[in-house]
Amino acid sequence: MWLPCGCTSKYVASSFARRILASHLHVSGRSRCNVAAFMPEAAGFEGVSGRAALRELSVSNSESFWAAVARHRLSWSIPFHTVQDCDLSRGKIKWFEGGKLNVSVNCLDRHVHTCPERVALIWERDERGSEMKYTYRELLEMTCRVGNLLRRHGVKRGDCVTIYMPTCPLAVASMLACARIGAAHNVVFAGFSADALAERIRDAQSSTVITVNQGVRGGKVIELKKTVDTAVESCPTVKQVFVAMRTDNPVTMTARDIAMEEEMLKEDVVCEPAVMNSEDVLFLLYTSGSTGKPKGLVHTQAGYLLYAALTHRYVFSYHDGDVFGCVADIGWITGHSYVVYGPLANGATTVLFESTPIYPDPGRYWDMVERLKINQFYGAPTAIRLLLKYGDQWVNKYDRSTLKTLGSVGEPINTEAWEWYHRVVGDGRCPVVDTWWQTETGGICIAPRPSDPDAEIVPGMAMRPFFGIKPVLIDTEGELLTSNNTSGALCMAQPWPGMARTIHNNHQRFIETYFQPYPGYFFTGDGAYRSEEGYYQITGRLDDVINVSGHRIGTAEIEDVVNQCPAVAESAVIGYTHSIKGQGVYAFVVLKKGIDVKEADLSRQLNGMVSEKIAKYASPDFIQFAQRLPKTRSGKIMRRVLRKVVESDLEGLGDLSTLDDPAEDDWSISDSLGQN
């Protein structure tokens, strides 16, 4: 694995980078009105008093708001001429057109210019106590070497590079290197199976894959290169695979494989950044929908980066010099926005967490908080619920006095977990921000902060929309619900810069999924309740997507795999409430006539198939064999009935906590943490 050598200072800003830096330095330093102290970006809005008023303005005068923020927070080589050109009824979203910039320059060069020796990454490796630090200068050099390497091997602007790596510095450098040379990246979570990886490589039409020889997680070695070998067999587009070394164990290299570190050494540490248009593609990220194959959501350059940076700064009250600890895997959107892009755009020190919350023991997170002096900790409810069960002593052993804000993401956080997080982890003194957002939204949309520092926070509620976000609730008739104390489908009435632009190769599906259900609005797929006070609480998905340990998975995707078993006639998968994972997977299976197999054997086989074709976390917790499935007259499976059956029978399901034996779990609970 690429190590910081601490000795090369050959970095010289390229001419393009220098121009960008000049434009950045030019715009800073104006401050006149009373919100300016809180948000210097808003200094131009005179007479706006307080954060609530600023929020109002960000919605009522969203163009001026986003223009001011974009000029201030990003470094442009050419300024934009049009703030936005959006039409939600047609799924058309464009921000900052005319503007040119480079995302890697924004995340690296400008910080190298002002504080080259500031630590950019702390890699909290799986092996406890072996963390490694990389300065902004070192990360820029590493990124430039990867950028040059990719260019030398023919990767061009507009190509898409698939990254199948654990959370590590070289993965971050690879993402930024793509951004530097104008290629899009497609990070595939390293817990996905070969089939799932292959599907994503094919859909993205990648000719280049970057991976590691082996991953290490929770003390176990994971054969990632072997998975890539299997995957690319069915991917004719793949011409080359770069293989980095996470462990010392050699792996079989084929003609298309390239030893990454060895080749990087031959490259220069200066790499001319591509001058990108605001709306050029930055990355694809696949996520599950209620039907069909996973969709490759497309995020573009300027709007995404701006939104990730702004939410990172204000939702978590991040300040210069803070150490930001988001334990998400880079394979998910949380890793993209709050491990990589948001923190690095803000010049933060960001933690790359490679391990699991219970390795080598349930004190891992808090030991890390003490050792790395983490100021903001951002994780998933499923991990909190798991750790809560191990008891307070694992938390109290460690000094957590550096913590200022605690964040939660990925799924609803129940009151018990929220209170434990707040009282035990945060010693009752750190605000807990329950952040609601999605792969589609690019960044946090609803969260208790920013707001006045002493404004109330209600446990288990995401509460307040972020700047520029206008949530609405709509009933089943399509009517806008204007009063409070009401529930409905959560939609957004206004576009914002961080939202996804399309589904790769399928704009029609993008429109049908997000913009047709409620014309004129972006439909999130979630339901929400708005309290008497106007605060939002997410009530869960309204479609057939379930959320297992914070991982989205379409029930149809699991059914597809189960139905491939020759013994199976049909199946129906539903989610049920699970005490640790949030939701578990429950599969009803109808066998073909005349099949005579032992149910236990078949269950094992089906579980194996789902793990192999999708990922371990998608594997059913329960498989129930049935004579038939309840259906409507038109032949639709009545999932509502099945859910009722499962819920009323939950008592009879036995002790659910036994499912969570951490020793059994590798890619389900552990990745959850993972997810966020």
Q: Which is nearer to ligand 6R9, 496 or 588 (CB)?
A: 496
- Least distance in angstroms from the C-beta of 138 to ligand 6R9: 29
* Cβ closest to ligand 6R9, residue 376 vs residue 676: 676
DSSP symbols for 379-432: E-HHHHHHHHHH-THHHHTS--TT--EEEEESSPPPHHHHHHIIIIITTTTSPE
Residues with Cβ < 8 Å from 611, sequence gap 6 or more?
193, 618, 619
3-class SS of residue 651: helix
User: Among residues 382, 439, 555, 571, which is the contact residue for ligand 6R9, using CB under 6 A?
Assistant: 439
CA dist 663 → 128, 228, 368, 395, 670 (Å): 18, 26, 21, 20, 10
**Residue that the structure tokens 């997080």 belong to:** 421
Bridging pattern class, strands 119-124 and 132-135? antiparallel
**How far apart are CB 336 and ligand 6R9 at their closest, in Å?**
10
Q: Which residue number has the CB closest to ligand 6R9? A: 439
Query: How many other C-beta atoms lie within 10 A of the C-beta of residue 220?
Result: 13
The structure tokens listed for 448 are 């208790």
Shortest separation between residue 247's beta carbon and ligand 6R9, angstroms = 29
- Dihedrals φ, ψ of 306, to 5°? -60, -45
HSE, CB side, 13 Å, CA atoms: give it for residue 51.
Answer: 17
* 189 sits near ligand 6R9 (criterion: CB under 6 A): no
CA distance to 92, 106, 465, 467, 483, per residue, from 473 (Å): 22, 36, 13, 18, 9
Decide: is 412 part of the binding site for ligand 6R9 (CB under 6 A).
yes
What letter would DSSP give residue 195? H
Candidates 106, 227, 438, 555; binder of ligand 6R9 (CB under 6 A) is: 438
Widest pairwise Cα distance in the chain: 80
**Contact pick of 124, 195, 434, 559 for ligand 6R9 (by CB under 6 A):** 434
Q: Is 526 in the site for ligand 6R9 (CB under 6 A)?
A: yes
**Is residue 104 involved in binding ligand 6R9 (CB under 6 A)?**
no
Residue in this structure with the two tokens 């923020």, named with its chain if needed: 69
In the complex, minimum distance from the CB of residue 551 to ligand 6R9, in angstroms, rounded to a whole number? 7
Residue 211 interacting with ligand 6R9 (CB under 6 A): no
d(CA 154, CA 183): 11
Nearest distance in Å: CB 334, ligand 6R9: 5
Cα gap 479→31, rounded to integer Å:
43
Candidate list 365, 366, 437, 522; residue touching ligand 6R9; CB under 6 A: 437
Instruction: Name the segment binding ligand 6R9 (CB under 6 A); options: 69-77, 79-87, 497-505, 522-530.
Output: 522-530
Nearest CB to ligand 6R9, comparing residues 273 and 335: 335
Per CB under 6 A, 435 contacts ligand 6R9: yes
Site string for ligand 6R9, 529-568 (x = CB under 6 A): ---------x--x-----x----x----------------
Q: Does residue 166 bind ligand 6R9 (CB under 6 A)?
A: no
513 binds ligand 6R9 (CB under 6 A): no
- Rule CB under 6 A: choose which of 41, 203, 329, 411 binds ligand 6R9: 411
Task: List alpha helices for 469-617, DSSP H.
Answer: 507-514, 555-563, 599-613
Is 462 a residue that touches ligand 6R9 (CB under 6 A)? yes
- Which residue, 147 or 407, has its beta carbon nearer to ligand 6R9? 407
Q: What are the residues whose beta carbons fall under 8 Å from the beta carbon of 306, sequence distance 6 or more?
A: 66, 69, 70, 73, 74, 96, 497, 498
The phi-psi region of residue 588 (left if phi > 0; otherwise alpha if psi is between -120 and 50; otherwise beta) is beta
Orientation angle between helical segments 169-181 and 136-152, nearest 10 degrees: 60
Q: Determine if 436 is a binding residue for ligand 6R9 (CB under 6 A).
A: yes
Regarding 379 and contact with ligand 6R9 (CB under 6 A), the answer is: no
| 311 contacts ligand 6R9 (rule: CB under 6 A) | no
Q: How far is the CB of 492 from ligand 6R9 (least distance, A)?
A: 12
Q: Which whole-number Å values give the CA distances from 330 to 336, 552, 575, in the listed order?
A: 6, 15, 25
Residue 277 binds to ligand 6R9 (criterion: CB under 6 A): no
Residue closer to ligand 6R9 by CB (options 227, 288) is 288
Number of residues that bind ligand 6R9 (CB under 6 A): 23
Residues 324-343 that bind ligand 6R9 (CB under 6 A): 332-334
Kindly list the residues in this chain that would bind ligand 6R9 in the complex (CB under 6 A): 287, 332-334, 409-412, 434-439, 462, 524-526, 538, 541, 547, 552, 676
